[in-house]
């Protein structure tokens, strides 16, 4: 990236957002940021509070951990709660709506069965042969990180995921292989993503041991905190060797008073942006208010909730915030059979 690499960071992007506003002749920021976008929104509102007139933070990341700590300790805090929710809602949905429920009588039993199967896949992947051009192995990495983990983000995918777990447990891995085994495991990483992560936070030899074993000594306890801890492990090897110096001077702070208070949206159980991070943001911005969608999934829009939609509309059009911490129910079931087109209709 030559001379440009050091400018790929979140504070720089926040400043660029002002350039966009200025170019179109708009003074006030109207913004709805999801996931990483919640970090960008928090950064913008801290740097430019006087222009933050309508800022919504949704699926909230903890900016204090992101910028100031070696590990993102909150990210996977509720991931296994969402996984349990998948099995729990499956059992509630019954066999007609969740094929997987026929294999157990409780969420705990179903979870134990599935995780045991996943561990077996580590040792013995399943060989799938369809024809002389379509064949390969369905292994732990492909099914767990290519299938299960991304489905936790979107409950609309739960019906299909249940089928793709049920069939291998019954000895037929063809559909699961076709869905997850023929491509790289799902990932949100890429060059720009890595640049932002490492340029924003604690990276390079100043902050990380340079030998392999000392790094593993730091990583392994962190990774073992979650069944999904392996997902981001490679990023830390990159972070260890990062050579671009941090050029921004941004420091998160509390007690920020914006032109208009922020609206903060979250689900009860988010697989990568937990409710506790939303509470941290709430404490950082004066007058901000949380609307919690009572369910599982990543960001408020992963679930249908008329209550949440009405709060968003009132905020964007009239600047109205709820008077207190607010919880909204969801308006659709978790397990819905997709139409032949693949569309999910509740």
- Please provide the DSSP assignment of 70-122 as one string: SS-TTTTTTHHHHHHHHHHHHHHH-TTT-GGGGG-SSHHHHHHHHHHHHHHHH
> CA–CA separation, 5 vs 197, rounded Å?
12
Contact predicate 32/291, CB 8 Å: no
User: How is the chain split among helix, strand and coil, in percent rounded to 5?
Assistant: 50, 10, 35
DSSP structure class, residue 288: -
> How far is residue 338's CA from residue 256's CA, in Å, rounded to a whole number?
44
CATH topology assigned to domain 2-75+248-328: Rossmann fold (3.40.50)
Q: Whole-angstrom Cα distance, residue 204 to residue 114? A: 39
Phi, psi of 209 (to 5 degrees): -65, 145
| CB count in 10 Å sphere of residue 162 | 24
Q: Would you write out the chain's pLDDT as a tens digit for each of its 346 residues? A: 778 888 999 999 999 999 999 999 999 999 999 999 999 999 999 999 999 999 999 999 999 999 999 988 899 999 999 999 999 999 999 999 999 999 999 999 999 999 999 999 999 999 999 999 899 999 999 999 999 999 999 999 999 999 999 999 998 999 999 999 876 655 555 677 888 999 999 999 999 999 999 999 999 999 999 999 998 888 899 999 999 989 999 999 999 999 999 999 999 999 999 999 999 999 999 999 999 999 999 999 999 999 999 999 999 999 999 999 999 999 999 998 876 545 555 5
314 CB burial (10 A radius; 0-12, 13-18, 19+): middle
Handedness of CA 316, 321, 325, 331 (dihedral sign): negative
User: Does the CA dihedral 253-259-260-266 come out positive or negative?
Assistant: negative
Residues 6+ apart with CB under 8 A from 5: 195, 199, 244
Segments making up each domain of the chain, as ranges: 2-75+248-328, 79-181, 191-241
Contacts of 23 (CB under 8 A, 6+ apart): none
Write out the two tokens for 101. 């429920």
Quick check: pTM over 0.95? Answer: no
Non-local (6+) Cβ contacts of 216 within 8 A are none
Measured distance CA(177)–CA(75) in Å, rounded: 28
């Amino acid at each position: 990236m030559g001379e440009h690499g050091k400018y790929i960071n979140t504070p720089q992007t926040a400043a660029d957002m002002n350039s966009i506003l200025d170019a179109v002749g708009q003074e006030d920021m109207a913004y709805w940021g999801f996931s990483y976008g919640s970090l960008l929104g928090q950064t913008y509102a801290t740097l430019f509070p006087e222009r933050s007139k309508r800022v919504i933070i949704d699926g909230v990341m903890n900016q204090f951990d992101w910028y100031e700590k070696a590990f993102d300790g909150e990210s996977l805090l509720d991931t296994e709660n969402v996984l349990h929710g998948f099995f729990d809602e499956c059992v509630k949905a019954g066999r007609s709506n969740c094929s997987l429920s026929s294999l157990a009588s409780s969420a705990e039993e179903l979870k134990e069965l599935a995780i045991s199967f996943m561990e077996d896949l580590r040792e013995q992947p399943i060989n799938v042969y369809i024809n002389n051009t379509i064949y390969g192995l369905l292994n732990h990495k492909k099914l767990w990180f290519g299938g299960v983990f991304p489905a936790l983000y979107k409950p609309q995918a739960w019906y299909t995921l249940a089928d793709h777990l049920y069939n291998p447990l019954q000895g037929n891995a063809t559909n699961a292989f076709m869905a997850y085994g023929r491509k790289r495991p799902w990932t949100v990483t890429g060059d720009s993503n890595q640049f932002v992560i490492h340029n924003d936070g604690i990276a390079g030899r100043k902050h990380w041991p340079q030998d392999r074993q000392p790094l593993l000594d730091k990583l392994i306890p962190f990774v073992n905190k979650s069944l999904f801890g392996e997902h981001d492990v490679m990023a830390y090897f990159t972070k260890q060797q990062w050579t671009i110096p941090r050029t921004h001077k941004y420091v998160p702070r509390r007690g920020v008073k914006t032109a208009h208070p922020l609206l903060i949206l979250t689900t009860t159980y988010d697989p990568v942006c937990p409710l506790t991070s939303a509470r941290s943001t709430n404490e950082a911005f004066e007058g901000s208010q949380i609307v919690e969608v009572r369910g599982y999934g990543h960001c408020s829009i992963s679930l249908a909730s008329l209550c949440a939609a009405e709060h968003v509309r009132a905020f964007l059009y009239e600047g109205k915030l709820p008077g207190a911490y607010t919880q909204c129910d969801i308006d659709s079931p978790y397990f819905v059979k997709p139409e032949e087109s693949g569309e999910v209709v509740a």
